[in-house]
């Protein structure tokens, strides 16, 4: 059974700090890993990773995948209060049209 585990489940930091969110997975025939940000409403897409060692970057957010160790990290530098959200990680295996999600990390940025 495919499985995704995120850590920590909850994190509280001060504005300006850098945070690292973790996502480990067990999936047969891995195809891709996706990160989403969820504020008060629907999850919004951040990144899709398919290859090891290639960093995806968008502003202060970046993510990288390690297919050997079966994990991904999401980094956020110079955090702002608007980064407060639940961050979700999901994986997809080859030939499947379904995503398996982790429990999410609730990130709170205090001013």
Q: How far is CA 92 from the centre of its chain?
A: 14
| 99 scored as a contact of another protein (CB under 8 A) | yes
- Write the interaction track for another protein spanning residues 39-58; mark x where CB under 8 A is met and - where it is not: --xxxxx--x----------
Task: Select 19 or 92, whichever has its Cβ closest to another protein.
Answer: 92
Residues 75, 107: Cα–Cα separation, whole Å? 12
Contacts of 77 by beta carbon, 8 Å cutoff, 6+ apart: 18, 60, 62
| Site residues, another protein (CB under 8 A) | 4, 6, 31-32, 34, 41-45, 48, 88, 90, 92, 97-104
């Amino acid at each position: 059974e495919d499985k995704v585990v995120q850590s920590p489940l909850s994190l509280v930091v001060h504005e300006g700090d850098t945070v690292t969110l973790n996502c480990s997975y067990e999936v047969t025939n891995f195809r891709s890993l996706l990160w989403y940000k969820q504020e008060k409403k629907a999850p919004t897409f951040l990144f899709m990773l398919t290859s090891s060692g290639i960093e995806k970057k968008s502003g202060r957010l970046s993510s990288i995948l390690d297919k050997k160790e079966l994990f991904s990290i999401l980094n956020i530098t110079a955090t702002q209060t608007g980064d407060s959200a639940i961050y979700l990680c999901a994986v997809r295996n080859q030939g499947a049209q379904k995503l398996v999600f982790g429990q999410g990390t609730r990130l709170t940025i205090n001013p």
